[in-house]
Chains A and B, each alone.
Chain A
Amino acid sequence: MEPLTSKKKVLEQKPLTFAERMYLPAIVKGLSVTISHLFKKEATIRYPEVEREFSTNFRGMHSLKRDEEGRERCTACGLCALSCPAEAITMIAAERKPEEKDLYREEKYAAVYEINMLRCIFCGLCEEACPKEAIYLDGPIVPSDYLRKDFIYGKDKLVEAPLNK
């Protein structure tokens, strides 16, 4: 038969030497390999207590930012929802009342802002699209949960903690 490849190397199978047929030298060698691992540092990270260190450009949970005076930056322009390839963001805009001046920065704000964390692919396009620097994916890993509805995060979970007043 024609050889299927141009490979010339012929593997020859030598009969086992006496030491090899005894098994024991190989077993001792194997045992020494495994015992050496007993003294190595374990690679496990005890997750909920200890977290792996992330790179600086890691994209985690979203947070809606506030400005220097503690007002919400988001103006509900909808660019993030538009840019979102997974269609995970929905929002309802509302007009700011005069007495809410120190709550929202612009005259229009997001009354409802929801991100479905099961749809989100953490691509970061929303933070790129945002003209107001209002949304960043700088949070931790999104925690697990039992129900689908609990993965729809509203403003209560997304908006940054207010400045100390």
Chain B
Amino acid sequence: MDIAFVIEKFVLVAIIFGISLLIAMYSTYAERKVAAFLQDRLGPDRAGPFGILQPLADGVKMFMKEEIIPSNASKWLFMVGPGLAMLTACIGTAVIPWGSDITIAGRVIPLQVTDINVGILYIFGVVSLGVYGVMIGGWASNNKYSLLSAIRAASQNISYEIAMGLSIIALLLVTGTMSLKEIVEQQHGWHWNVLYQPLGFLLFMICSFAETNRAPFDLPECETELIGGYHTEYSSMKLGFYLFAEYINMFVSSAVMATLYFGGYNYPGMDWVLLHTGPIIGPLIGTLVFFIKIFAFIFFFMWVRWTIPRFRYDQLMHLGWKGLIPLAIANIIITGIVIAIIEKF
């Protein structure tokens, strides 16, 4: 392992970490703006031109708030919770391929931190860990509402992880690999997986809404029933971490959806563009396209949030176990049969 490799990876990790924090920061701003525009309002527009500095103002506010730890809370776990939520939200970005390889001075630099051959399983592992931040925080608060919310979050995530996993199996049947890099490479140009797996994509998307605790599946933090849910007792930047982790989760799951089903950094006419722009600009245009797809998904997340009311708890379980899981299994069977027929002839 040479030193250039270490530096290259270190820079890449730093850039990705910075970008995901920046996007999460501006997702809070975008969320408020989208909410406002969908409701014929203006949204925040006082801090800087068009309210551009609003996230900074929010951040300063969060830092200045008093740090409160309830006297009966489990102090150590209370402090670990938000950190864990943040950590698990961030490490999901490690296996996502952000662009095709860049060649600088004869050195090929992949725009992916690590291309492990079980990339999808890694994503799943990280997503399932994500609920620990919520659970630990909710339990350590020693508050019945927080505990209820933690229980809800756990059961919701477990239920929807099954449907999510099953919807991915159908995708794996089509692609034949678990490496995210290879999955993206297979979707060259127009051959996006969503065209072969529309139902699988729909199921995966619904499950990602549930996994990221976004509306209409935001039961763990529903204000009307549970005050603030798992972060009722949190204040200051610990609360900020929880809110932030939600937006990073949203960013990561948008990136995963774009990678698995919408071709990642592939776009029609990319060969022509790559040929004419050279080995550095060309892949970066692909990365730009990838980010446009991610932003489209993030907008969709917000759009849905301001449209659909929250599910009731029994409806949530009904949809997960009796709706999505049978559909996902049917999707696997149909995909399997079609692939078998195609290979036969």
Interface residues of A (CB under 8 A from B): 23, 27, 30-31, 33-35, 37-38, 40-44, 46
Interface centre among B38, B41, B303 (most CB of A within 10 A): B38
A-B contact pairs, 27 of them (CB 8 A): A23-B319, A27-B308, A30-B308, A31-B303, A31-B304, A31-B307, A33-B307, A34-B38, A34-B306, A35-B38, A35-B303, A37-B39, A37-B40, A38-B37, A38-B38, A40-B40, A41-B40, A42-B36, A42-B37, A42-B40, A42-B41, A42-B42, A43-B40, A43-B41, A44-B41, A44-B42, A46-B42
Contacts A31-B304, A31-B307 supplied; 7 other A-B pairs, CB < 8 Å: A27-B308, A34-B306, A34-B307, A35-B38, A42-B37, A44-B40, A46-B42
Interface residues of B (CB under 8 A from A): 36-42, 45, 303-304, 306-308, 319
Report A10 CB to chain B, min CB distance, Å.
27
Cβ contacts under 8 Å, A37 to chain B: 37-40
* SS class, residues of chain B in contact with chain A: loop
Report B172 CB to chain A, min CB distance, Å.
25
Interface centre among A33, A34, A37 (most CB of B within 10 A): A34
Kindly state the separation between the CA atoms of A30 and B40 in the bound complex, as whole angstroms: 16
Kindly state the separation between the CA atoms of A1 and B319 in the bound complex, as whole angstroms: 39
Chain B residue at minimum C-beta to C-beta distance from A38: B37
Report B318 CB to chain A, min CB distance, Å.
10
Kindly state the separation between the CA atoms of A71 and B42 in the bound complex, as whole angstroms: 47
Cβ contacts under 8 Å, B41 to chain A: 42-44
Cβ contacts under 8 Å, A27 to chain B: 304, 307-308
Cβ contacts under 8 Å, B40 to chain A: 37, 40-44
Cβ contacts under 8 Å, B39 to chain A: 37
Cβ contacts under 8 Å, B303 to chain A: 31, 34-35
Cβ contacts under 8 Å, B36 to chain A: 42
Kindly state the separation between the CA atoms of A34 and B303 in the bound complex, as whole angstroms: 8
Kindly state the separation between the CA atoms of A3 and B269 in the bound complex, as whole angstroms: 71
Cβ contacts under 8 Å, A30 to chain B: 307-308
Chain B residue at minimum C-beta to C-beta distance from A23: B319
Cβ contacts under 8 Å, A38 to chain B: 37-38
Kindly state the separation between the CA atoms of A43 and B42 in the bound complex, as whole angstroms: 8
Chain A residue at minimum C-beta to C-beta distance from B39: A37
Report A25 CB to chain B, min CB distance, Å.
13
Report B154 CB to chain A, min CB distance, Å.
24
Report B24 CB to chain A, min CB distance, Å.
23
Chain B residue at minimum C-beta to C-beta distance from A40: B40
Report B80 CB to chain A, min CB distance, Å.
37
Report B321 CB to chain A, min CB distance, Å.
15
Kindly state the separation between the CA atoms of A46 and B308 in the bound complex, as whole angstroms: 29
Cβ contacts under 8 Å, B37 to chain A: 37-38, 42
Chain B residue at minimum C-beta to C-beta distance from A22: B323
Cβ contacts under 8 Å, A42 to chain B: 36-37, 40-42
Kindly state the separation between the CA atoms of A23 and B319 in the bound complex, as whole angstroms: 10
Kindly state the separation between the CA atoms of A35 and B39 in the bound complex, as whole angstroms: 10
Kindly state the separation between the CA atoms of A97 and B345 in the bound complex, as whole angstroms: 116
Report A96 CB to chain B, min CB distance, Å.
50
Q: Using A37-B37, A37-B39 as known contacts, say yes or no to A46 and B307 having CB atoms under 8 A apart.
A: no
Report A41 CB to chain B, min CB distance, Å.
7
Cβ contacts under 8 Å, B45 to chain A: 46
* 3 nearest A-B residue pairs (beta carbon): A44-B42, A34-B307, A30-B307
Cβ contacts under 8 Å, A34 to chain B: 38, 303, 306-307
Kindly state the separation between the CA atoms of A44 and B44 in the bound complex, as whole angstroms: 12
Interface centre among B306, B307, B319 (most CB of A within 10 A): B307
Kindly state the separation between the CA atoms of A40 and B308 in the bound complex, as whole angstroms: 20
Interface centre among A33, A38, A41 (most CB of B within 10 A): A38
Chain B residue at minimum C-beta to C-beta distance from A26: B308
Report A43 CB to chain B, min CB distance, Å.
5
Cβ contacts under 8 Å, B319 to chain A: 23
